[in-house]
Structure 1
Amino acid sequence: MTNSRAYSIAIVDDHSLILQGLVGLLSRIRSYQVTGTFTRGSELLAFLETDPVDIVLLDISLPDINGIDLCLEIKRIAPSVIVLGLSNHTERSVILNLMQNGASGYLLKNIDINELEKCLDLAMTKQMVFSGAVQEIIANPSSTDLPLLPKLTKRETEILKLIALGRTSVQIADELFLSPLTIETHRKRMMSKFKTKNMMSLIKIATDNRLI
């Protein structure tokens, strides 16, 4: 890709060995330059506040935040940045959830340098990009794929966290300055949304998927 300047890339991955390998790999592609590497999502967000980049390569499993949630935060801070998932996670639901949160593509870590360069070039032309292996995953849903989870509103998240802490509807209503009837309505709506029969099942799903 011909360009007067090298496009800047920030990478976040919780394995420093992976980071070193990616920096080494990307140093062989002249049109791109790694300007920051991070092992925690919070470090990347702090960096983006003052140092804009063209592309963020994002792992899914991080010690302080799920990469899917982090993608949303990145797009909030820097709406124009191109976020590409770069992970070993091959679950179709993970890939689609990341795209739903604003990512422009998803690559598996087994990608080679030629395909990586091609994907980066396509991403810079505002196209959605997937490595070959990811295209196959998206095109061929597996019976073990998890369905896309519904989204919780800010208020629902607030209420569900308090329910998980053992608060009653009356206590939650007092705390949030709402009526107990409103809390009960939220409870029923959340159970219906997630197709669960009780709050314990809902709390488990929300906890397992880091929704609360």
Structure 2
Amino acid sequence: MIDPSYKIVLVDDHTLFRNGLRILLNTINTYQVTGEAANGQEFLELLDQIMPDIVLLDIDMPVMDGITAAKRAMEKYPDLKIITLSMYGEEDYYYKMVDAGVKGFLLKNSDMNEVKSAIETVLAGGNYFSSELLQTLVNSLRSSSRNREPQYGLSEREIEILILICQGLSNQEIADQLYISKRTVDKHRANILEKSECKNTAQLVMYAIKNQLVEI
């Protein structure tokens, strides 16, 4: 159940976009926009005054971009939950944002149902990727990696589990589907993280796409 006191901070250099998103979010009684910033520097200064439950963060901004801001914010507040607001053509930045520790990606043309779904997923501890954005990323990666043999070093079972992770299944759900124990899945997941040098589920999704292990 989503706590009605959850606070949201909006970070985007377009005032009209922020105003519109704030109005829409504030109509949902479980959320409250408690702060806004027009660039990464303002956002970092705002964090020292307001600690939000979730941040919607633009990538391309003046003064300080979203990548730098996300890295600095996560270094200071490792538990901060950030969802990136993205536009088409910004695929080159996705890996950097994942490395910075963001928990989700939304296209700016997403409807409110998807925005709400992303916020709820991330607040619950998950990672969210816009399906439309992922498809764009997959197409880009397929084009750039054509004729290149993927190198991933995972066992068949680990690949099977990785694909299920990318489909959004929990460790228990994976265990039930494969008729193995959750403890076994936990161990495989740890091995996958170590072999892929990934830190979290978001990075695993990117890793699987990059190595053409999943079809979105």
**TM-score using structure 1 length:** 0.63
Alignment of 1:158-197 (within 5 A): none
Alignment of 1:1-212 (within 5 A): 2-142=1-141, 143=143
Amino acid corresponding to residue 53 of structure 1 in structure 2: P
Hey, what does 2:173 align to over in structure 1? none
SS at match of 2:55: strand
CA distance in 1 between counterparts of 2:102 and 2:29 reads: 24
CA distance in 2 between counterparts of 1:10 and 1:77 reads: 17
CA distance in 2 between counterparts of 1:16 and 1:132 reads: 27
CA distance in 2 between counterparts of 1:6 and 1:135 reads: 31
CA distance in 2 between counterparts of 1:10 and 1:29 reads: 15
Which structure's CA Rg is the greater one?
1
SS at match of 2:64: coil
SS at match of 2:8: strand
Deviation of 1:99 after TM superposition, in Å, equals: 0.8
Amino acid corresponding to residue 43 of structure 2 in structure 1: L
The 10-residue stretch of structure 1 (103-112 or 45-54) with the greater mean CA deviation from structure 2: 45-54
Amino acid corresponding to residue 139 of structure 1 in structure 2: V
Deviations 1:42-85 (A, max 9, x none): 11111111311111111011111121111101112222110110
The CA RMSD measured in Å over matched residues stands at 1.7
4+ residue stretches of structure 1 with deviation over 3 A? 142-145
Hey, what does 1:197 align to over in structure 2? none
- Going from structure 1 to structure 2, the CA distance change for 1:127 and 1:64 (only over 3 Å counts) comes to same
Contact preservation (8 Å) 2:7, 2:52: yes
CA distance in 2 between counterparts of 1:92 and 1:61 reads: 12
SS at match of 2:48: helix
Deviations 1:10-36 (A, max 9, x none): 011001001101101111222111100
Deviations 1:108-135 (A, max 9, x none): 0010011111111001111110112112
Contact preservation (8 Å) 1:60, 1:89: no
Contact preservation (8 Å) 1:90, 1:134: no
Contact preservation (8 Å) 2:84, 2:106: yes
Q: Percent identity?
A: 33
Contact preservation (8 Å) 1:48, 1:77: no
Deviations 1:144-172 (A, max 9, x none): 69xxxxxxxxxxxxxxxxxxxxxxxxxxx
**TM-score using structure 2 length:** 0.62
Amino acid corresponding to residue 111 of structure 1 in structure 2: S
State how many pairs are aligned. Answer: 144
CA distance in 2 between counterparts of 1:92 and 1:40 reads: 20
Contact preservation (8 Å) 1:49, 1:77: no
CA distance in 2 between counterparts of 1:53 and 1:112 reads: 22
Contact preservation (8 Å) 1:86, 1:107: yes
SS at match of 1:50: coil
